Structure 1
């Protein structure tokens, strides 16, 4: 498809500027707010939204007895932000709060929709808009996190405190409360320095041990999903250390300006290192666009465009497509709206120093680069022992995924490009240019790809939000 028929192509310069200044994220917040709140005066609403862009918006999460309340209270005081808790949401005399209190009084979970209405109303109040907020202990479930995001409640920082279960249970048993300030102390882990405060401490009414264990198990069931919901703005802090150390780490994190950068990922590695598989996994989970250079060229040749007509003879002849033509095809694809707004994962290009320099000089420079490291012997084993079933299109491997029966095994076919000589030559070319590629990306992350695909994906994922 030519440019004239593609209205969703964004000028590259605009894309780079928007990513640098976080405009796509800002636009998303503004449109989300308009659609959800539907204000009568949208201009004044947007002005107010922009004015509130830099105030703190912090969530402090973690299991019971991990120290959320103490950290959140101190943090809100230091930042001058509003401390929002589940209890504070129930304090006013509105019908919503009254309805929610009925659930709380009977120790029932407040329905997600009701809780989100309470939170949204509180965060839209004048003090929260002007000063910002530190929200403690909410959301507790992935459903609540999803509903909050749909309601436009997007934090700038999320801190998740963690500690071993035995430590948390011990803390819960010895917890004490100052009836005047509601500050939480502990007879072993956190004793007040002021004797007057120590004398008036009261022991909280303990929950049954079974209830404490149930609450902790419930949190453990949700923690993985909660982590994924806020992965781009999340910091996990070990709470099993002195409280001053914990707070210093929390405060240092929330005082940084962390914005989600639209991921532009470059996956490099030898043939057989798993680039296609990892790109597909990242794309499926994070909705980024999987851009395989090989597939992209074949698609261009088949779409009837002028550029495709230029590409087709090279594919028919089995010769490399010239770099300027490859870059033209890449530029068209990476300038599309989905790539600009959701991000992309590029693999199969660049392969040498000239190509990588051309990419760096374009408007599509990657902001995250990964090298998948694996030996030639492993690559040869992965590629040369695989074959495809021409009937189903499924790919099998002699060692890792053998054919299910003899009938399928007999009809398997090995692609010519998967032969030992061809793969050996491809590996030799990659090794020849590896040092040059690494010199252009000295800060790239090197991942050990000689392990199961899930472990490799976890290693990639853990660095996805690195600045």
Structure 2
């Protein structure tokens, strides 16, 4: 089965995990904007070089360059054959409109936008639960991946841990607020197009994926 999908969700909602499971089951190419930017720059494509010029100056890459890199990726044979799963794009309404035009120009359409929904308070707990061994750098999570013996690194036996500044609750809350502001108009945009499917991401990973698979089955029927 070939699908044209967008995966949405706030940081920590589990998009990466679900993308991997979709890829394993359906072999739909997973298109992460970070990955295609790096690939376009490495291959020195016209759009890749344009993006690099902005990134090297520490500036945001304009929408027209981002759209061009996505358009190039969506024209590749694996996507034309097997569909796509976009992750990290579109990030605003102008990009969403550009994507609609790209697909219309090649006689394609979006099958589904899957929004993995998790309450921000739960995400703060998830994202701020990460801690790191100061001696060997092993990473743990108090909720999902704690040390086997409390206070002792599984790898080196150290008892010295720390938390990165960007994992601290206040920083996490600020990051989530920025993402909520960015995502809300897109959620409304795709809801109005009748392609949005919101899934409760606060449950076990396999239960979330069952709902994802049910959505994909329904759009394929």
TM-score, with length taken from structure 1: 0.40
Specify the alignment match of 2:25 in structure 1.
285
Shift of residue 315, structure 1, vs aligned partner = 3.6
Shift of residue 377, structure 1, vs aligned partner = 1.3
For residues 398-421 of structure 1, what are the alpha-carbon distances to aligned partners after superposition, in whole Å with 9 as ceiling and x for unaligned? 221024552377687766654544
Answer yes or no: is the 8 Å Cα contact 2:6–2:86 preserved in 1: yes
Answer yes or no: is the 8 Å Cα contact 2:135–2:158 preserved in 1: no
Specify the alignment match of 1:463 in structure 2.
215
Q: Secondary structure at the match of 1:450?
A: coil
Shift of residue 389, structure 1, vs aligned partner = 7.5
Q: Secondary structure at the match of 1:399?
A: coil
Specify the alignment match of 2:202 in structure 1.
450
Q: Does 1:331 align with 2:62?
A: no
Shift of residue 283, structure 1, vs aligned partner = 0.5
Q: Secondary structure at the match of 1:288?
A: coil
Shift of residue 395, structure 1, vs aligned partner = 5.0
User: Superposed, which structure 2 residues align to 1:404-419 within 5 Å?
Assistant: 404=148, 405-406=152-153, 407=156, 417-419=166-168
Change (3 A) 1:446 1:388: same
Q: Does 1:354 align with 2:94?
A: yes
Change (3 A) 1:420 1:393: same
Higher Rg of the two aligned structures: 1
For residues 15-45 of structure 1, what are the alpha-carbon distances to aligned partners after superposition, in whole Å with 9 as ceiling and x for unaligned? xxxxxxxxxxxxxxxxxxxxxxxxxxxxxxx
Specify the alignment match of 2:37 in structure 1.
297
Q: How many residues align?
A: 207
Q: Secondary structure at the match of 1:362?
A: helix
Answer yes or no: is the 8 Å Cα contact 1:276–1:292 preserved in 2: no
Q: Secondary structure at the match of 1:441?
A: helix
Higher RCO (CA < 8 A, seq sep 6+): 2
Q: Does 1:375 align with 2:119?
A: yes
Give the alignment partner of residue 440 of structure 1, picking from 189, 210, 214.
Answer: 189
Specify the alignment match of 1:310 in structure 2.
50
Answer yes or no: is the 8 Å Cα contact 2:131–2:164 preserved in 1: yes
Shift of residue 287, structure 1, vs aligned partner = 1.0
Change (3 A) 1:463 1:323: same
Runs of 4+ with deviation above 6 angstroms: 388-394, 408-413
Answer yes or no: is the 8 Å Cα contact 1:359–1:365 preserved in 2: no
Q: CA RMSD in A?
A: 3.0
Q: Distance in 1 between matches of 2:136 and 2:85?
A: 28
Answer yes or no: is the 8 Å Cα contact 2:130–2:139 preserved in 1: yes
TM-score, with length taken from structure 2: 0.79
Q: Does 1:275 align with 2:3?
A: no
Shift of residue 310, structure 1, vs aligned partner = 2.1
User: Superposed, which structure 2 residues align to 1:22-61 within 5 Å?
Assistant: none
Q: Distance in 1 between matches of 2:16 and 2:8?
A: 10
Structure 1 gaps, min length 5: 1-259
Structure 2 gaps, min length 5: none
Specify the alignment match of 1:18 in structure 2.
none
User: Superposed, which structure 2 residues align to 1:20-99 within 5 Å?
Assistant: none
